[in-house]
Amino acid sequence: MRNDDWKKVSRLVSKKSLWMVHFCTGCGAMEMPPVMTSRYDMERFGIAPMATPRQADVLLITGYLSIKTLKRVVQVYEQMRDPKYVIGFGSCTINGGMYWDSYNTIKDLSKYIPVDLYIAGCMPRPEAIMDAFLKLMEMIEKGEAIGWKKYHKYYDQYKRNQRMAFSYRLDEVQDIKEDDAK
Amino acid sequence: MVSVPPVLLIALPLLFAFFAPLVNMWSRKAVKVYTLLVLILNATLSYLLFANVMQNGVVYEQLSGFYPPIGILLAVGPIGAILALLINTLSTIVYLTYFGEAENSVKFSMLYMLVTASSTGIVITGDLFNMFVFFEITAVGSYGLVASMRTKESFEGAFKYIVLGSIGSAFILLGIATIYGYLKTLNFYDIALRIDTMPPTARLMSFIFLIIGIGVEAEIFPLNGWVPDAYQGASNRVASFFSLGPSKAGIYAIARLIFTLLPILSGWQLALLLGVFTLIIGELAALMQEDPKRMLAYSSIGQMGLILIALSLHSETALIAAIFLMVGHALAKSLLFLGVRDYARGTLRNPLIAAPMFIGILSIIGMPPFPGFWGKWYLMKDLASQGAWLIMLVIILTAIVESVYYARFLHRGTGGEKRKLSRSETAAIIILASLLILVGIFPNYLYDPAVRAAASLLGGGP
Amino acid sequence: MILEAFGVMLLAVIVVLALDRYPRIAAAVAIIASLLPLFALTSWAGIMGISLPSFLAPLEFESSLVYNLGPGTLNLAITPLGWFFLLLLATSFPLALLFASSFVRNRAGGFYAGMLLTMLGSFGVLLARDALTFFLFWEIMSWSILAMVLRGGDRRAIVSYLSFGSLSAMLLLFGFMMLYFKTGTFLFGDMHLDTSLTTLVALSMIVAGLAVKGALMPLHVWAPHVYSRSEEPFVAFLSGGLSKLGYFGMLLFMYGIAGLSLLSSWGTFRDVSYFGYALAVIGAFTAFAGTVLAVMQDDLRKLLAYSSVGQLGYIAIGIGIGTPLALTGALFQALNHTFFKAVLFLAAGAVYYRTGKWKISELGGLGYRMPFTFLAALFAIFALAAIPITSGFAAKWLLYEAAIEKKFLFVTPIMLIAGVGAFLYAYKILYGVFLGEPRYDVKEAPISQLVAMWLLVLPLVIFLIFPGWVADLAAPILSEYGMQPIPHTPYVITTNLAAYNTLAVIFALMGALLVSLILYKWKPQEVVPHEDNYLAGEPPELYEYISMHAASNYYEPFEDVFGPVFRRGAERAWEIILAAAEFLGNGARRLYTGLTQDYSIYILLFFLILVGWWLLW
Amino acid sequence: MMAKELFPDAQEIRKGRIRIEVEPEKVGEIVKKLKDNGYDHFVMLSCIDWINDGQFELVYHMWSYEYREHVMISTRIPRDGGSMVTLRDLFPQIETYEREIHEMFGVDFIGNPRLGEFILEGWPHMPPMRKDFDTEKFVKDFYYKIPEVKEE
Amino acid sequence: MVDLIALGEQILLLAGMVTLGFAIGMFFNGFARKVTARIHNRIGPPIYQGYIDVFKLFAKKTNISHGWIFDLAALFSVAGITLAFLFLPVAGFTLLSTEGDIFLILYLLAIPALGFALGAGASGNPNAAVGIMRALILMLAYELPLVMVVVAMMIHYNTTSLATLVQMQSGMHWAIFVPVFFIGAIIVDMALQGMLMEKPFDIAIAPHEIASGPMVEFGGKHLGALMLYKMMAIVVETTLFVDLFLGGGVVLSVSQYGWIAYVVNFLVWFALITLVFFLALLINAVFPRFRIEQALKFYWKYDALAALLILIWVFAGVSI
């Protein structure tokens, strides 16, 4: 068997066993129980909740993130083992949502960690979540869910953005801007 | 072998004691050396006497021209020789410690020689009245020695000692009077020969009088009220000296009393009972004692009880045990009294003091290979062969109690700051500990004399 | 050569005392002197049917000796039983000294002198052929331990050791004297005991006296205090070597002198004498209670001490049951315990040497810092917990088989559950000291300490592969007691109930390990530091003030359940006895009022009583 | 004793809700008095930024389970360099509120030892709850300026 | 040479059985999730989910370790549980069970547990330490009733060898048909619940309290190895129960029926362990979790008390 074939088989099997760890900072946490219990029963796709990032494959960011929580999210994400995937829930993770003018919540999650999939909505309904998972599985099978590879590849960019955000300093943002301009 | 007249053992120190003030007039410091020389001479003489007795059996010497039973007779048997050697040697060693002291009182040296001589006198005399006289000298000397500290406690102890000692003397005198009244003699042999002619009542009365009188000196319960106070009040040296000299002489006197003098059945039973009570009370009282010197004093009482039990068993094995116990106790207790300080704290931090004192404690609680062990082993062996389980049980329980309070003593000693004793005291302690080890590891050197002593005592001799 | 050996050892005691200022030279002298018992051991190997090459036995020791001491005679002779226990003591002793050579700094002369004296005493005890010799050397051994305890200076240790030591001595003395009363001799060979009550009481007393040294409950009170307050090399020898002498004595008196038929004459229960049955029940209780108490300790030394108490209980069970199987098991357990407990105490010492801490909750993460110490301790812990990859299991297995064979319905579950309890405290040591968050940046233990530990681990491996060799060593002992040795080959031990094949276990384990290793090494891995831990996203560097080491109060739920029952139960009972004695003591003290008139009245009363007694009589 | 009886000049907004306006120095005394008289639940401490008056208003809310009554003790301190004495000795939970108000408004509580970083980590700007802090501008200048990750 | 061939055959048989054991274990994982899902009125994952999960864990691209002690966990767990499996009589095959006995198995079962604990402790995560503490206390708790019943049985049958015990039960003389051992079976089944760490005794791995306890730091291949251990442990523990009470599933004698007997015995054994596990799952699905003290008290009070009755019964039987 060639290496590519092996990878394909590996992906084919792995997509049926997605273990997730949810970082329940926002309102999205409330949407998870119906997804997991008998109404929608996510387990039939082999998706199971896990207690720690060491064991998990999928990181769910279920809502807005402040700078302080972002620090924790980054730590959790880095503790997960490859291959790993991130799903952003709701508009808060996309553009800040209703916290668009808050001095302390980040506006775009994908600036700090690679996000494979966003679910729009405030909050998304369980059906949307199910759909997202199915989509993610499809992406995995096709080899499109490559957020973890991006994180390795553009590690310095992600780190730079994280560092900027953690510092809260406007001048640092300006400096980088100038660097990019050059 | 030079044959030494036993009387020298008494006469020389008495004589030299009276010359001591003369020496003092010449030089104050010379008195110590002078006294030490006298004591060494005495110890040498006692050794020669001991060798002589071991070789030739009992040595008699009559004094003042009269023949016994009227004249004064000295009769040194094996046990007397052992004790004389013990008392003289150890008192020399204990006197060594006086060199570490700044003060040099001629009175102390005189009294010391006096008490040594009179204690020796008790163990080598063959005459009841003589014994009484020596008892009186010992007692009077001892009062002085106890008070020599010139502190409140020492005066208190000395006073109690005087009162009880006087009562004891009175009882001894009563006993002697009773015997003399019936038998018209005071010679031990004579009494032993004709004791059967005495009416039983008189015999018993005289026995009671004598045992009470001597019991005061031999620290027997309930006659020993003076002991804790006197030991506590006295200086370490004097307490140490007491536990080797007068108390051993007293117990010897009781031995003579129950073996030679008045061999009546109930006397032994009484002595046994007294021994058991003394043992129990002494050990229990020591258990809760906070002051280390008082604790050692109570422990001495307990040991005296043990020796009395051994003596009263009236068998060869038990007598050997008694001799081992006496030697062990004299060595160990004089060692402990020398080493002990207030609350014992700190003294055991110094290994040169701790090791000898540890050995002393081991000997007293009967650990091998020290004299105390051989004594206890023989005593138990004899009790076992008689099937005296109850007494064995008492001895065992008190031994456990003993080890509990000695454990506390050891712990207290190891805490606190390191303390030093004077060089002479350390030397004395180490010599005593070495003697303990030697006697323990080579018990046969004491065993053979002890066998003879036992045989002699059982045969009605001195 | 025996007397010379004693002489040389005594001489060595004096020499090391004099060399107090030069600890290394003192250690060298002590180690050289400690080889004497080892040479005696090799010289006497013939009586166990072992022929050793002559370079291993350079000194010739006579096999028996009679020496007249005056008041008594010393009778010394080597027996298979003595040889077996000498094997345990003589091999662990030089290693403990080797460990001490880098461990003991303070007043080293006294330390080595005390150690040599304990060995001298035990050497005599093992050779003793009469009660006087036994008692003499027993007590020398006993008070040398006291001397070592005094170095620690802990009040409870000194008081409890001296009082229990003297209780033991007095029980032994009483027992010997009762035997003397019955038989008229102290010679073990001439003691022909009858079935009278006196003999029973005497034997019980002797066994009780020996049980104090063997730390059987409820006579164990001294052990935790002493074990936790003395220097580790000494404690390793005390727990590993000297505590076995109690069981040596039990075997000697119960089976060597009294004999099985005599014990059985006082009644039997399923062919086991009531005497032995009682001992087995006490042993089982000790095993269980010791284990429970060990689980609750936070002080590493106390934990090991209670664990010793528990493990020694197993030996008592074996001796109590008294079948060939059980006795072999007891001997095996004694052998194992000697080595693994010595290793554990030494490892604790090494940890203390590097970190200066005894509390388990204050240690942690030393496994990566001191890997060789950790591995030695791990091996010892496997032996302690009777995991079948060390020799520890074979001993326990023999005991279980023996108990089941005799249909001991209530003893066996207690033994088994105590065995499970051992996992609990074993893991407490492992986690608290060696695993978890690294908190000390220390070096590995010195080479002398490592060598001592690893040489002690060696027997645990050897007897894992060849448990039959221990059965071989037990065979002459059993034949002395008129028993058949258990059927065995070097690898296989067979009983009526089942068989235990070490070879199968080892090969299966090797195979399984190999397969899992392949499975496991298939994928690469990277090593991350301990700080990179999942703590709900919290980076630990933010919380310097919170310890991530969860070792304090580790078994709190367990303590909540068992604590009220077991904590200091036995000690309280003894304290009540002590309080009663103190009450009596205060009473006696009050007799001495300090008033002269009272004393005078005593004399008068005494006189009156005597006169009255005489009048009535 | 009820608050109205203790402080007759207190203003009763409606039943069960009392407002007392006092000088900053007297707050401690009043809280103590209320605490001793059954108002044993310290609910919270809040702060209002009266930017036009140049003042901060600190409101201490207390509740009595006995009288089912809510007392607000209001006091005003200057906006610039205003400070207040800590009341953490009366109610330990006040410490947390004081920390929060210190972080969000910059009010200094004299005697509180833990006025460090609380919710925000490494916040270098002016306290964000002050009315003169322009969050919209901050978000624009900061969050929106953080660059996207450029993929090559 | 003949010996070598026989040895080779033996080794092949053992290897085959171990592989089969792991396969059954993985099947049980999916089975358990399916059953639980059906009780919850869910559809649940496919029954082969266990295989997928293990495959995925071993297919993880990167794995982390906290050092060599951490690695021991995975090694000892898999090797130890394999060892325990080898010393059990399984479905009429004695494997190595004639070379050891019940006590050996009880202690062999401790190898993976201690190895696992070692690795978990080495990770330095406090959650892991707490989880191990609970697991060990739970072990102490359930072992008491277990060993009491086992000892009673061993004394009753006068053997400690499981192979002999299975042999003595052949011909449908199963221990469970003895009334007193029927009670014993119930008691051991309770203990089995704790051994399998199913609810109400899943205190050690409580995911919501202590983040799956000992396993908190394990991921990727380490977790895969641990899953293999857990799955195999289900087979070992249920087989232990079947060997003790249900005659090891042996219904046909090999000497009489030849190879058919092997097949039938194997199927019966498989059905029986599935049944035993199914019972445990039923309890698991409907119960909440005990606290650790409650578990300890439950086992030591009610279970052990009942076991004591059995001991007394056997005691009376032996005495007569």
Look over chain C and give the mean of its residue pLDDT values, rounded to a whole number: 85
pLDDT in tens, B383-416: 888 888 888 889 888 888 888 888 888 887 766 6
B411 touches chain C (CB under 8 A): yes
| Chain D residue numbers touching A106 (CB-CB < 8 A) | 143
Q: Is the dihedral of CA C348, C350, C351, C352 positive or negative?
A: positive
| CA–CA separation, C383 and C240 (whole Å) | 14
pLDDT in tens, C40-84: 888 888 888 888 887 888 888 888 888 888 778 888 888 888 889
CATH number at residue A134: 3.40.50.12280
| Chain C residue numbers touching E147 (CB-CB < 8 A) | 412-413, 416-417
Q: Is C534's CB within 8 Å of A73's CB?
A: no
Q: Is C504's CB within 8 Å of E118's CB?
A: no
A152 touches chain E (CB under 8 A): no
Per-residue confidence (pLDDT) for residue A176, from 0 to 100: 60
What residues are paired with C499 via a beta bridge?
A: C494
Q: Is A23's CB within 8 Å of C532's CB?
A: no
Mean pLDDT, residues E312-316: 81
Neighbours of chain A (3+ CB pairs under 8 A): C, D, E
Kindly report the three-state secondary structure assignment for every residue of C379-433: HHHHHHCCCCCCCHHHHHHHHHHHHHHCCCCCHHHHHHHHHHHHHHHHHHHHHHH
| CA–CA separation, B169 and B163 (whole Å) | 10
Facing residue for E83 by CB, picked from C270, C512, C533: C512
Facing residue for C603 by CB, picked from B167, B380, B407: B167
Mean pLDDT, residues C484-494: 84
Does the pLDDT value for residue C104 go beyond 50? yes
Q: Is C153's CB within 8 Å of B204's CB?
A: no
Contact of chains B and C by CB distance (3 or more pairs under 8 angstroms): yes
Q: Is A13's CB within 8 Å of E56's CB?
A: yes
Mean pLDDT, residues C168-174: 88
Contact of chains D and B by CB distance (3 or more pairs under 8 angstroms): no
Instruction: Name the nearest CA neighbour of C148 among C98, C108, C90, C93.
Output: C108
| CA–CA separation, C352 and C440 (whole Å) | 12
Per-residue confidence (pLDDT) for residue C580, from 0 to 100: 87
The fraction of chain A above a pLDDT of 90, given in percent, is: 0
| CA–CA separation, C121 and D33 (whole Å) | 78
Q: Is C505's CB within 8 Å of E100's CB?
A: yes
| Chain E residue numbers touching C379 (CB-CB < 8 A) | none
Which residues of E touch chain A, with CB atoms under 8 Å apart? 33, 37, 40-46, 49, 52-53, 55-56, 59-64, 207-208, 211-212, 215-220, 223
Answer yes or no: is B395 within a domain.
yes
Q: Is the dihedral of CA C424, C426, C429, C431 positive or negative?
A: negative
Q: Which tokens in the block code for residue C612?
A: 């009255």
Contact of chains A and B by CB distance (3 or more pairs under 8 angstroms): no
Answer yes or no: is B162 within a domain.
yes
What phi and psi, each to the nearest 5 degrees, are found at residue E109? -65, -20
Q: What's the half-sphere exposure (Cβ side, CA atoms, 13 Å) at B176?
A: 19
B387 touches chain C (CB under 8 A): yes
CATH architecture of D3-141: 2-Layer Sandwich (3.30)
Q: Is C528's CB within 8 Å of E83's CB?
A: no
Q: Provide the domain limits for residue B75.
A: 7-458
Contact of chains B and E by CB distance (3 or more pairs under 8 angstroms): no
Residue-range domain boundaries for chain E: 2-319
| CA–CA separation, B317 and C172 (whole Å) | 20
Does the pLDDT value for residue D57 go beyond 70? yes
Name all contacts of C603-611 with Cβ < 8 Å and 24+ positions apart.
Answer: C603/B164, C603/B167, C603/B168, C603/B171, C603/B212, C603/B216, C603/B222, C603/B223, C605/B222, C606/B212, C606/B222, C606/B223, C607/B171, C607/B208, C607/B212, C610/B208, C610/B212, C610/B270, C611/B205, C611/B208
The fraction of chain B above a pLDDT of 70, given in percent, is: 93
The fraction of chain B above a pLDDT of 90, given in percent, is: 0
Facing residue for D120 by CB, picked from A104, A157, A158: A104
pLDDT bracket for residue B445 (50, 70, 90): confident
Contact of chains E and D by CB distance (3 or more pairs under 8 angstroms): no
What phi and psi, each to the nearest 5 degrees, are found at residue E247? 60, 25
Q: For strand D17-22 and strand D69-78, is the pairing parallel, antiparallel, or unpaired?
A: parallel
Instruction: Name the nearest CA neighbour of B383 among B368, B373, B394, B398.
Output: B394
Burial (0-12, 13-18, 19+ Cβ within 10 Å), C22: middle
Per-residue confidence (pLDDT) for residue D113, from 0 to 100: 85
Mean pLDDT, residues B346-371: 81
Per-residue confidence (pLDDT) for residue B42, from 0 to 100: 87
User: What are the angstrom distances between the C-alpha of B445 and each of A145, B51, B55, B448, C131?
Assistant: 100, 12, 14, 6, 22
pLDDT bracket for residue B345 (50, 70, 90): low
Worst-scoring range by mean pLDDT, C25-39, C206-220, C522-536?
A: C522-536
The fraction of chain D above a pLDDT of 90, given in percent, is: 1
- ipTM, two decimals, is 0.83
Per-residue confidence (pLDDT) for residue E209, from 0 to 100: 66
Helices (H), C128-187: 131-152, 155-183
pLDDT in tens, E32-57: 888 888 888 888 888 888 888 888 88
Q: Is E140's CB within 8 Å of C393's CB?
A: no
Does the pLDDT value for residue E319 go beyond 60? no
pLDDT in tens, C435-472: 877 778 888 888 888 898 899 898 888 888 888 888 88
Q: Provide the domain limits for residue A105.
A: 3-181
Q: Is A44's CB within 8 Å of E37's CB?
A: yes
The fraction of chain E above a pLDDT of 70, given in percent, is: 97
Q: For strand A19-23 and strand A58-61, is the pairing parallel, antiparallel, or unpaired?
A: parallel
Quickly list DSSP for C435-490: SSS-----PPPPHHHHHHHHHHHHHHHHHHH-HHHHHHHHHHHHHHTT-PPPPB-S
Q: Suggest the residue from E155, E166, E291 to mutate for an interface test with chain C (most C CBs closer than 10 A).
A: E155
Helices (H), B148-220: 152-183, 188-194, 200-217
Q: How many domains does chain B have?
A: 1
Does the pLDDT value for residue E1 go beyond 60? no
For residue A48, the chain E residue with the least C-alpha distance is E45
Q: Is C589's CB within 8 Å of B284's CB?
A: yes
Q: What part of C 365-384 touches E (C-beta under 8 Å)?
A: 365, 367-368, 374, 378, 382
Higher pLDDT pick, C601 / B262: C601
Instruction: Name the nearest CA neighbour of B143 among B248, B217, B32.
Output: B217
Worst-scoring range by mean pLDDT, B191-205, B302-316, C335-349?
A: B191-205
Per-residue confidence (pLDDT) for residue C617, from 0 to 100: 65
Q: Is A114's CB within 8 Å of D149's CB?
A: yes
pLDDT bracket for residue B66 (50, 70, 90): low
Does the pLDDT value for residue E95 go beyond 60? yes
What residues are paired with B76 via a beta bridge?
A: B59
Q: Is D146's CB within 8 Å of A173's CB?
A: yes
Per-residue confidence (pLDDT) for residue A177, from 0 to 100: 58
Q: What part of D 124-143 touches A (C-beta under 8 Å)?
A: 124-125, 128, 133, 135-136, 138-139, 141-143
Which residues of C touch chain A, with CB atoms under 8 Å apart? 532, 534, 536-539
Answer yes or no: is B1 within a domain.
no
Facing residue for D122 by CB, picked from A108, A168, A177: A168
Per-residue confidence (pLDDT) for residue C387, from 0 to 100: 86
Does the pLDDT value for residue A182 go beyond 60? no
User: Per DSSP, which regions of E142-271 are E strands?
Assistant: none
For residue A16, the chain E residue with the least C-alpha distance is E52
Instruction: Name the nearest CA neighbour of C61 among C74, C49, C77, C73.
Output: C77
| CA–CA separation, E113 and E116 (whole Å) | 5
Facing residue for D149 by CB, picked from A96, A103, A111: A111
Q: Is D149's CB within 8 Å of A158's CB?
A: yes
Does the pLDDT value for residue A180 go beyond 60? no
**Residues 6 or more apart whose Cβ sits within 8 Å of residue D152:** none
Does the pLDDT value for residue E158 go beyond 80? yes
| Chain C residue numbers touching A72 (CB-CB < 8 A) | 536-539
Separation of CA E124 from chain center? 28
What phi and psi, each to the nearest 5 degrees, are found at residue E31? -55, -45
Residue-range domain boundaries for chain C: 296-301+323-524+546-567, 578-616
Q: For strand A85-89 and strand A117-119, is the pairing parallel, antiparallel, or unpaired?
A: parallel
For residue E291, the chain C residue with the least C-alpha distance is C557
**Residues 6 or more apart whose Cβ sits within 8 Å of residue A129:** A31, A32, A35, A89, A119
Does the pLDDT value for residue E320 go beyond 50? no
Instruction: Say what the pTM is.
Output: 0.87
| Chain A residue numbers touching E33 (CB-CB < 8 A) | 43
Answer yes or no: is B2 within a domain.
no
